[in-house]
Copies of this chain bind each other. A is one copy, B any other.
Amino acid sequence: MAALRVGVIGASGYSGAVATRLLAAHPFARLVGCTSDKLAGRLVGRELGCRLPSLEGLEFQPNADAHRVAAESDAVLLATSAEVSAKLAPELVGHGKVVIDLSGAFRLGDPAAYPAWYGFEHPAPSLLPAHYGLPELFGAPPAGTKLVANPGCYPTASLLPLAPLLREGLIEPAGLVIDAKSGVTGAGRQAKEEYSFGEVDEDLRAYKVLSHQHSPEITAILSRFRPSKLTFTAHLLPIRRGLLATAYARPTAQATPERLRACLADAYAGKPFVEVVTPHEVTVKSVAGTNLARVAVTANDDVVIAIGVIDNLLKGAAGQAVQNLNLAFGFPETAGLDALHRLAA
């Protein structure tokens, strides 16, 4: 079987670089090209510190060559800004490519939401919403899917612990609170004083309070199970990789700690990338470097606490994109992802 030909657009950001590296090691895919204005002309393997034979001689191409890279590809990963993705994805889909978009450009269903949350008028409303690529909740993209919206990092860490509980009627769909904390790579490479080491180190802060663009995404996806109302808050952690979400909900009458745990255990039985554990095992270091999510739930009479943790660059971005690619093309779900491991080990 000929390898699937894949390209990466925007390969010098944190997520794009990780996606490039994963594809270079993928057993069934062949990386045909990747673009980055910043690194154009430089050797990919050298920049990634990676000796894979598949990278030998491969150079970053300028972003202007995105269509040329796509032309040689069966599938394209977009690690571009939402505004760039919103324009580029329809073109590539139009040329028959399967597109997995890591931005928020196709995650929301309502085009009218884009000016407020993303700051631009959506150029391709007919594509909204694209298939939402959270495989543990929504499975493989349906046959013929041309565009996958890869979930946001905060939504991934939040939905995995919450959605099964909501689906099973164990938590109330209103009054949900999600308090999330992310490492700085979630914000991409930055040349701003506020992201300088001197400012971030030994600090913590909430940001975009009541105005984070992942809030409508989480609400919309949860509401597919039951119409939901929630509050979402993001915090910036002085770590490089990792994202932990602590969620609070009111239990329904049938919720007991045992049923809650059983619900998550059942939901993720046989899922290779979700581990159901106890709350104190939901640690950034247990998943950083992997495509794993860890989730846990506990409760008393008044509250259900559900916690999720992921590596924001892997299960929260590039790793999940490869997982979606695998499912879209019928590869084993873990292909190209099974050798990942904890950085801490």
| Chain A contact residues, CB within 8 Å of chain B | 14, 17-18, 21, 25, 46-53, 175, 177, 179, 181, 183-185, 189-193, 195-207, 209-210, 229, 231, 233, 235, 237-242, 244, 246, 248, 250, 272-273, 275, 279-280, 282-290, 292, 298-300, 302-303, 305, 307, 309, 334, 337-345
Contacts and interface: CB of A to CB of B under 8 A. Distances in A.
A184 B203 contact: no
A60 B183 CA distance: 32
A197 to B, nearest CB: 4
Nearest to A174: B302
Contact of A17 (B197, B302, B345): B345
A344 B334 CA distance: 23
Contacts of A339: 25, 50, 52, 339
A246 B233 contact: yes
A195 B198 contact: yes
A181 to B, nearest CB: 6
Contact of A287 (B49, B175, B275, B288): B49
17 contacts: A48-B345, A51-B337, A175-B250, A181-B204, A183-B202, A184-B198, A191-B193, A191-B196, A192-B196, A202-B202, A202-B285, A205-B284, A209-B279, A210-B299, A229-B302, A240-B344, A339-B339
Contacts of A235: 181, 244, 246
Given A17-B345, A209-B298, A49 B303 contact: no
Contacts of A191: 191-193, 196
A35 to B, nearest CB: 16
B175 A246 contact: no
B305 A209 contact: yes
Given A231-B305, A279-B206, A345 B47 contact: yes
Given A49-B341, A231-B303, A305-B233, A189 B184 contact: no
Nearest to A11: B345
Given A192-B191, A290-B50, A339-B52, A280 B197 contact: no
Contacts of A240: 197-198, 201-202, 344
Contacts of A183: 202
Contacts of A196: 184, 189-192, 195-197
A298 B207 CA distance: 12
Contacts of A193: 189-191
A25 B300 CA distance: 43
Contact of A338 (B50, B239, B283, B340): B50
Contacts of A17: 345
